[in-house]
Chain A
């Protein structure tokens, strides 16, 4: 599988993501500069974490107007895979490719620690390598991760099973105590309606080597790789 990692001014997880895909998982991987519109025939586009354009105006608000995003939009419309991690998630929301918006964390603190994620389904491109209901230990690191959406649209997300990851405890119980940022319904990751675009606040690229305390992030990358190889 060929991966493309988008680079904006202010991206800071681009090299971590590239390292995991290329060196740890042995996949062909290229960087995609924000001013370029050529996606170099990648199968999957990853929009990494960071502070694109300094988070000016709103997180992701300026990045959505970049040339690369127009190509990413077409890539998604063709049914190809797109994953937005943290700031990448915020960018995809601003671009209208994913639902909702991220408010400032309810506790007003930048939260940077390992959390647990309940995988709601393993019947997706992003979680096919997971067990049913698997709990993943992956770190978060964000200031604006408080998922918000209107009650009507939230009901639609639930009904369409677009919520793929929820903050939980280590046993997979989705409780208010396990919610690190005030997200509605403990939402940590959602897909678009057609299921080919994922956004998640946790950083799987920071949990893909045993040295870093968890390798659970690999389940997400491996799901993508398996999907194409099968």
Chain B
């Protein structure tokens, strides 16, 4: 079983890396009007585990480890 988690910077938190990528894209001629950089995680579990138990663990992992709640939020994209 695999869980997919996306961690994003909250709105309003400065993202200098995203801004730099956007500036490069603009220089290349792409008409990009905004870009925010995030993180993506794939976490694997034993297939025998119950999906709701896995979801609970993934929420805990994302909240305590994968994101810093001061500046980031997380979203569980998929568990299957």
Contacts and interface: CB of A to CB of B under 8 A. Distances in A.
Interface string B3-15: 0000000000110
A57 B66 contact: yes
Interface stretch (A5-13, A14-22, A100-108, A207-215): A100-108
Nearest to B10: A150
B68 A101 contact: yes
Contacts of A94: 68
Interface residues of A, number: 18
A58 interface: yes
A1 interface: no
Nearest to B9: A103
Contacts, number: 34
Give the bracket for the number of chain B residues in contact with chain A.
10 to 19
A182 B68 CA distance: 19
Contact of A106 (B13, B14, B70): B14
B17 A104 contact: yes
A81 B4 CA distance: 41
A146 interface: yes
A108 B17 contact: yes
A182 B14 contact: yes
A146 B68 contact: no
Interface string A178-215: 00001000000000000000000000000000000000
A61 interface: yes
Nearest to B66: A57
B71 A61 contact: no
Contacts of B20: 108
B66 A149 contact: no
Given A57-B65, A61-B65, A108 B70 contact: no
A53 interface: no
Contacts of A33: none
A148 interface: yes
Contact of B14 (A65, A100, A103): A103
B34 interface: no
